[in-house]
Structure 1
Amino acid sequence: MNKRFGGSWPLLFALSLVGVLSVFAGVPAWQAALGWFFLVGLTLVGDHRPEPETNPSEAEDETRDPRLLDEISATIDALETPSLLLDQEANVLFQNRASDRLLGALPMGVHVSARLRSPAVLDMVRETLANGRPNQIEHAERLPSQQVYMVRIAPIELKRSGNLGQLYLLCFRDISELRRLDQMRSDFVANASHELRTPLASLRGFIETLQGPAKSDPKAHERFLSIMLDQSTRMSRLVDDLLSLSRLELKANVAPECKVDLVPLLSHVRDSLVPLAEELGVEINLHLPDVPVEVTGDRDELVQVFENLMENACKYGQEGERVDVYLKAAEARPVEVTVVDHGPGIPSEHVPRLTERFYRVSVADSRSKKGTGLGLAIVKHILTRHRARLIVTSEVGKGSQFTVRF
C-alpha cells in the first residue's frame, strides 16, 4: 500500500475517518461515499504526477566549489610567466597579470582563439585537449619587436575536482634573450673563423710562392716576408682580443674593488700612444683637473679601455689632426672621460651597433688600419664590469665623442 500510494496513505486514512463521521452526523451514506471516492481520486492523481526534471548542469553548479577555482587562480596569478587557465573547451577561465600585460585583458569565458591567432599554437592546444598529454612549441612574434616564446600547455592534476572538470594551463616563457645569445654566438664563431681564415690563406699562399716560383728571388723574399709579418701580427692581435673577451666574460659579474686615479692613468695612456699619433699626424691633447680623480676599478683594464678609445680616435679621426681628452669630476656628479676626434664622423645608423663583435662601419677602412673589430666590444665588457657606461655621439663631417661615465 505504501509503495502504491507513496506518502499519501495518512491522508487517505483521514478522508475515510471524515466520511464515517459524516454518516453519523446525518449526511446520507451515498453522498458521503461519493465525496470519499472523489477526494481519493484527486489524491491518487496528484500522487502519480511526474517529478520535475532536474537540469544536470544546474545540479552541477549547485555542487561546484567556487573556492577551488579561486585557489587555482590565486596560484597562477603569482607566477611571473604569462599563463592562461583553460577549461575542456579551451575557454579562458582565468589569466594572470603577466598574461594581461602580454596579451591584453581577455573577457572570461571567451575561447582562447579570440586573442591567439597562431595556427601552430591553436593546433597544439587542440591536440592536448584531445589526448590529455602536455605539449610545447616555439612561437615568434615579430611586431612590435622580435620576441620568441616557448608556449606550453599541460593538464592540471587536481586531488579534488570540485566538479570543475579537467583544467589546462597555457604558459608563455620568453626565450628571446636566449635566442639572441645563440645568434650572437653563431655570428661570433662565423666571424672569428672568417677573420682567421683570411691571414692564414695569405700566409699559406706566400709560403708556397717562396718555396716555388720565387725560391731564388731575393726581392720577392723581402716583399713577401714583410706581408707575412703583417698578417701574422694581425692574427696575433685577433687571438689576443678573443682571449681578452673570454677572460672578461668569466669575471663579468665580479666588480673591481681597488681605487684608481684617472689623472696619471690618462697621462700614461697618452704617452704610450704618442709614437702612433706622430706617425698619423695627430696630436693628443689632455684636459685634466689639478686634483686627483679616483674611481673604483681595475687599472690594467681601464688602461685598455682608454688605449682603445684614443687609438681609434687617432686612426679614424686622422683628418682632424687633433684628439681632445676631457676628464670631468664635478661635485655630486658622475666622473666622465670624453675622447673627442674631429674626423669624418659616424653615420647615425651605425652608432647603436658599434660595440658588437666584429661590427665595422667600413670593413676595408678597418682592415687598412689594422683593426680587429673587437676593440669596442672589449671596452663595453670592461665598462659593464666597472658598472660604467659608454655614450657615443657623432655627427657626420664634425667628428665623434666617446664618453665613459662612471
Structure 2
Amino acid sequence: MAVDGVHLLEHIQTPAIVVARGQVSFANPAAKTLLGSHIVNQDVRIAIRDPRAVSVILGEGGGNAKIGGLSVGGSVWEIDCKVLGPAERLVTLYDLSVQVSTARAHADFVANASHELRTPLATVLGYVETLMNPKAGGDEVTRERFLNTIRHEALRMQALVSDLMSLSRIEAVKHEVPGERIDMVALARETAGEFRAGGSVAVSANCETAFVSGDRGQLAQVVRNLIDNALKYGRKDGPVQVALEATPTDWLLVAVHDDGDGISPEHLPRLTERFYRADTSRSRAAGGTGLGLSIVKHIVERHRGRFDIASRPGKGTTASMMLPMRQD
C-alpha cells in the first residue's frame, strides 16, 4: 500500500488493517486498541479468529461479513474488505453494537407493549362475550361483577396508552434543554396537594424557594409519579414524605420516601427499565403500567439531573432526583 495511504489510515478513528499474503502488515492505532498491538506481522487467521471474516479477507474479491464478540461479548462488528492488489487487502472494522442494541430494544419494546395491551383487551372481550349471553347477562350480580372487571381493564389500557404517548413525547424532545424558571418548592407543594384524598403526603424543604431550569409539566409529572408510586407501594394509609434540600454545591435534592415493604436489592438496577416490575401481580393490581419510573428517568436526564432509588426490605423506599439549580 502507498505511503500516503498508510499515513491517512493512521489518523482515522475506524479500525483498519492491511493484510499482505495472509499476514497483517499494518494496523492503525484504532485497530491496535481493538485487537492488540501484537497483530502486526501476525497471520490474519490468528489476529481475527472468525471463519467468516477470514473467508472474506483471504477470498478472491473481498466483500463484507458481520461477526460477533470482536471487542466484548455481545458486540457486533462488520468487516469490510477491499482488494488492493493480487495479495493485498485493506480491512476496515465497523462497530454495529449500538445500532443492533437499539434495534433489539425497539423490537422488545413493541413486543412488550403489544403484550401489555393484549392481556387486558382479551379480558375485556371475553367478559363482553359472556355478558352477551342472555343467561349470564340477565344475572344482575354477575353483570355488575363483570362490568367492574371490564372497567378496571379498560382503565388499565387507557393508562398504558397515556404513558406510551407521554414517553414518546419525552423522547422527541430529550435533546432540547428546557429553560423555564421553575420554583421546585412551590411545585412540590402544589403537586402533593393533588393527593389529599389518597393518603398522607408531607412536604418539607430547607429553603423557601429553589429555582431550576426546566419544563414545568414534566417536572410536575416526575413528582406526581413518585408520590403515586409511594402511595401505591408504601404501607397502607402510611405517610409519604417529600423532602427538598438545596445543597452548598448548587444542586437540589428532591426525595420521596415511603415506609412500605421495600424492594429487594436484585431488583433495584432494573426498576427504570420499560415494563420491568419488581412485583408484577401487585403492580398490575394497583394499576401500574411498568412505565412510570422509565418516564421519570427520561425526564430527569433531559433536565441534566440524576435519578436514584434506594431501598431495603422492611425499611421502605426512597426515590430521589438531583437537579442543577439556577442562580438568576
Q: TM-score per shorter chain, which class?
A: over 0.9
Q: Is the 8 A contact 1:319 1:344 kept in 2?
A: no
Cα RMSD over matched residues? Answer: 1.9
* Other structure's SS at 1:405 match: strand
- The AA in structure 2 aligned to 1:103 is L
Matched, 1:257 2:179: yes
Distance 1:109 1:320 in 2: 72
Q: Which moved more, 1:377-386 or 1:144-153?
A: 144-153
Matched, 1:140 2:68: yes
How far the C-alpha of 1:317 sits from its partner, in A, is 2.0
What's the CA shift string for 1:363-385, capped at 9, x where partnerless?
Answer: 11111111000111111121222
Q: Is the 8 A contact 2:241 2:256 kept in 1?
A: yes
Q: Which moved more, 1:72-81 or 1:256-265?
A: 72-81
- Consecutive unaligned residues of structure 2, counting only runs of 5 or more, are 324-328
TM-score by length of 2: 0.92
Provide closer, same or farther for how the CA distance between residues 250 and 332 of structure 1 changes in structure 2, counting only shifts above 3 A.
Answer: same
How far the C-alpha of 1:289 sits from its partner, in A, is 2.8
Q: Is the 8 A contact 2:68 2:77 kept in 1?
A: yes
In the alignment, what sits opposite 1:267? 189
Output aligned runs, 1:78-157, within 5 Å.
78-87=11-20, 89-127=21-59, 131-132=60-61, 134-141=62-69, 144-156=72-84
More relative contact order, 1 or 2 (CA 8 Å, 6+ apart): 2
Count how many residue pairs are aligned between Structure 1 and Structure 2: 322
Q: Is the 8 A contact 1:319 1:342 kept in 2?
A: no
* Other structure's SS at 1:275 match: coil
TM-score by length of 1: 0.75
How far the C-alpha of 1:145 sits from its partner, in A, is 3.8
In terms of fraction of residues, the more strand-rich structure is: 2
Distance 2:88 2:223 in 1: 60
Output aligned runs, 1:3-402, within 5 Å.
69-87=2-20, 89-127=21-59, 131-132=60-61, 134-141=62-69, 144-156=72-84, 167-212=88-133, 213-277=135-199, 283-318=200-235, 321-402=238-319
- The AA in structure 1 aligned to 2:100 is R
Runs of 4+ in 1 over 6 A off after TM superposition: none
Distance 1:70 1:324 in 2: 69
Identity %: 35
Provide closer, same or farther for how the CA distance between residues 149 and 241 of structure 1 changes in structure 2, counting only shifts above 3 A.
Answer: same
- The AA in structure 1 aligned to 2:174 is A
Provide closer, same or farther for how the CA distance between residues 114 and 215 of structure 1 changes in structure 2, counting only shifts above 3 A.
Answer: closer
Distance 2:296 2:39 in 1: 50
- The AA in structure 2 aligned to 1:194 is H
Q: Is the 8 A contact 1:320 1:343 kept in 2?
A: no
Distance 2:123 2:238 in 1: 33
Distance 1:236 1:206 in 2: 18
* Other structure's SS at 2:42 match: coil
How far the C-alpha of 1:144 sits from its partner, in A, is 4.7
Distance 1:77 1:398 in 2: 57
Q: Is the 8 A contact 1:258 1:298 kept in 2?
A: yes
Distance 1:271 1:220 in 2: 38
Q: Is the 8 A contact 2:39 2:47 kept in 1?
A: no
- The AA in structure 1 aligned to 2:31 is S
Distance 1:107 1:260 in 2: 56
In the alignment, what sits opposite 1:42? none
- The AA in structure 2 aligned to 1:294 is F
How far the C-alpha of 1:255 sits from its partner, in A, is 1.2
Distance 2:208 2:293 in 1: 29
In the alignment, what sits opposite 2:326? none
Distance 1:143 1:359 in 2: 29
- The AA in structure 2 aligned to 1:333 is D
Distance 1:309 1:318 in 2: 15
What's the CA shift string for 1:126-183, capped at 9, x where partnerless?
Answer: 22xxx23x311111118854211112211248xxxxxxx7532212211111111111
Provide closer, same or farther for how the CA distance between residues 306 and 145 of structure 1 changes in structure 2, counting only shifts above 3 A.
Answer: farther
Q: Is the 8 A contact 1:320 1:342 kept in 2?
A: no
* Other structure's SS at 2:281 match: helix
Q: Which moved more, 1:336-345 or 1:295-304?
A: 336-345
What's the CA shift string for 1:268-291, capped at 9, x where partnerless?
Answer: 1111122222xxxxx322121342
In terms of fraction of residues, the more helix-rich structure is: 1
Distance 2:178 2:307 in 1: 18
Q: Which moved more, 1:172-181 or 1:99-108?
A: 99-108
Distance 1:100 1:143 in 2: 12
Q: Which moved more, 1:92-101 or 1:235-244?
A: 92-101
Distance 1:387 1:292 in 2: 20
